[in-house]
Structure 1
């Protein structure tokens, strides 16, 4: 198998929507070969260059007949791996990603233990990292982080049954048990609401 196909096989193996940088491939391939191969794959539209040094294996909509916008969570994780940062989604961005905000957001903010940075993704999306003390870090699943941050952003007194139902709609029921286990260490009132969100047969 040629290097071109090997690299593409490795990338596509992570599934549609995966975002990455060349540093994600260094352990398996030679650095000099990686850069030229990624350039070729991008030119041939097998992957997409979404920012300087960042690519994705885009999701495609048969209905819309076009590639979908990058998965912001995946893009943020790609930067975090590249620069060895720990990150967590900000409350406002979590609300937007879970469709709980009425504002259409073109800017997404992640908190990080790295420096303040801002990146343009495909010219129309801004991804910003803000240096911050990270309080809810280390969740295994992105759904866990999104739920915790969105609930904290809303505040205990502003969470209604409608909010719980809306979050529930965004989460695959197969993730319920994983999320419950993943978020056990979070604030008690947040966890009590997560138990309601992840309640089955309701």
Structure 2
């Protein structure tokens, strides 16, 4: 194994099985050509698996089934890294996550700052849809999911019940990211974030003070 391939495998193993990656994940090791060549040789040696154009994974293994299909989110993250775009949960996925919908999205779909496209990898199809709403940098999936969900609902459907429901399902770090991201949001959405923060602070204060919450939770 070459020195380049050895360095690549050391990083791959550190990430663990199931990781999906692109040549860009190793560009700090040398030229793009040398990275591509090392990845190709590692795939030929079955150390890693090529699952699509410019996409590889370190597959999880099953005793009877062998190499398993990579996780859809891992593929989406790798595709985003490949193009340099930001990624966020879809509005439908966020609604399900926060308990505002019981419907589980049938297809693996994500919001992206890049163009809308579908990528197929190892038999799995992943859809990335261009988002008109901002995708916040250095923010959790929960925070970005809220942005996508609010954009989908629209200003007229974000009522007190929705505010109460969402605020108790976000932690301080999520709210801090949303507050920091207000300048890139539409004005009405930034106002909703202020309401989310106020409701959460009021709820925490009520619990600590032994009083009733200022709004009824759904």
Q: Normalised by the size of structure 1, how large is the TM-score?
A: 0.66
Matched-pair contact (CA < 8 Å) for 1:21–1:78: yes
What's 1:128 paired with? 128
Deviations 1:57-89 (A, max 9, x none): 456689x997464251x4333323322334444
What's 1:54 paired with? 55
2:174 to 156, 173, 179: 179
- Find the residue that maps to 1:49 and give its secondary structure: strand
Whole-Å separation in 1 of the counterparts to 2:118 and 2:13: 27
Unaligned runs of 5+ in 2: 183-189, 209-218
What's 1:150 paired with? 149
Whole-Å separation in 1 of the counterparts to 2:47 and 2:96: 29
Superposition deviation, residue 96 in structure 1: 5.2
- Find the residue that maps to 1:144 and give its secondary structure: helix
What are the residue-to-residue correspondences of 1:1-150 with 2, within 5 Å?
2-15=3-16, 17-43=18-44, 46-58=47-59, 67=68, 69-72=70-73, 74-95=74-95, 100-112=101-113, 114-130=114-130, 132-150=131-149
Superposition deviation, residue 141 in structure 1: 2.6
Superposition deviation, residue 7 in structure 1: 0.4
Deviations 1:117-152 (A, max 9, x none): 22123323232333x534343243333212332355
Equivalenced residues, count:
190
Whole-Å separation in 2 of the counterparts to 1:189 and 1:122: 40
Deviations 1:82-128 (A, max 9, x none): 2233444431243356675513422413232x333221233232323
Whole-Å separation in 1 of the counterparts to 2:96 and 2:49: 24
Matched-pair contact (CA < 8 Å) for 1:88–1:134: no
Matched-pair contact (CA < 8 Å) for 1:139–1:145: no
Whole-Å separation in 1 of the counterparts to 2:61 and 2:70: 9
Q: 1:160 to 1:116 in 2, by over 3 A?
A: closer
Greater Rg over alpha carbons, structure: 2
Superposition deviation, residue 16 in structure 1: 5.0
- Find the residue that maps to 1:135 and give its secondary structure: coil
Q: 1:160 to 1:190 in 2, by over 3 A?
A: closer
Q: 1:6 to 1:81 in 2, by over 3 A?
A: same
Whole-Å separation in 2 of the counterparts to 1:121 and 1:106: 14
Q: 1:181 to 1:104 in 2, by over 3 A?
A: closer
**RMSD between aligned alpha carbons?**
4.2
Q: Normalised by the size of structure 2, how large is the TM-score?
A: 0.62
